Structure 1
Amino acid sequence: MDNVKYLLILLLVIALPVAGSVLKRMANAKGDELGRRRLANRTVQALEQLAVSLDVAADPAAAARLVTEVADTMKKWRRAGELEWHREVLYPADIVVRLDPTETGCRLAVVRTHESVTVPQGVRDWERFRDAVAAAATTHGVATATTASHPMVRVPRQEPAGIGQSDHLWVRADA
């Protein structure tokens, strides 16, 4: 009987650490899997939102004036060129939008954004900016419509990454 007690105690002393490490590995693997799945879902959702563009029924000069008017009233949006604007979140040009001429006017779309943990950033900023431009266009009597733009692709950053920046960017596939 004493031998059985000692054998049981010895078995528990050996089996508990092994079982604990096996269970810990299984829990970590499941957590990693769930994290990857959640990250993939966030990436897909962000890319879908960033691919929504705004068609403005106006010539490029009038549309540029309209977008500049909105950018001047919004925090951290700056004109970056004749038909480009960017928003400085942490660094200059974290989000870049551009007006491209179309058959019916112009299309305002995101052409570049930064990433964090492989997820494109700036979705809320783009939605607010796009909605503000659409509202301003409506007050000026200019028709607008949201449409699907070109998808975004992940590319290596050409310039050296700053502190806290990823080595990759998301750019419009046709840019």
Structure 2
Amino acid sequence: MAGRRDAGERPAGWEAGQRRYIGELLAADVLLIAVPMYNYSMPSTLKAWVDHVHVPGVTAGFAPGELPLRGRPVVLVSSRGAAYGPADNPADWDHGTAALEVVFGASMGMTPHRIVAQLTLAPDLEVLADRRDEAVASLEAAILRARELAIELG
């Protein structure tokens, strides 16, 4: 297949970039990640960064002693155009923040906090017009949660 890399071959500068990303992550007191929902998942650029910093034996592991980020807070701020809560049919369609909670929480030992603003498309889509008040309330709740976490994690 044209353009295919040989096993183990990486693009130029890949390892230096990975070392820099991991160094920045290890130096952070709190990790803040913006997670807009794109097609029910996280943006591809965020996924690429996660793939660089989630390294078994370096930042992730299987025994508690192997987790240099254990207990460190990670705040996942998510915006969603529609609603994905318990009362909505696609409540489990958010494959972005849920996946990041597994990666950073379960695998890397960090303490995840989630802030969500949903129905962000309600002001612009007639099909969501009856949920515009929910959209405003969701944004207000997200802002309030962000303020609380800023104080708590300060």
When the two structures are superposed, what TM-score results if normalisation uses the length of structure 2?
0.31
When the two structures are superposed, what TM-score results if normalisation uses the length of structure 1?
0.28
* Larger strand proportion of the pair: 1
Q: Higher Cα Rg: structure 1 or 2?
A: 1
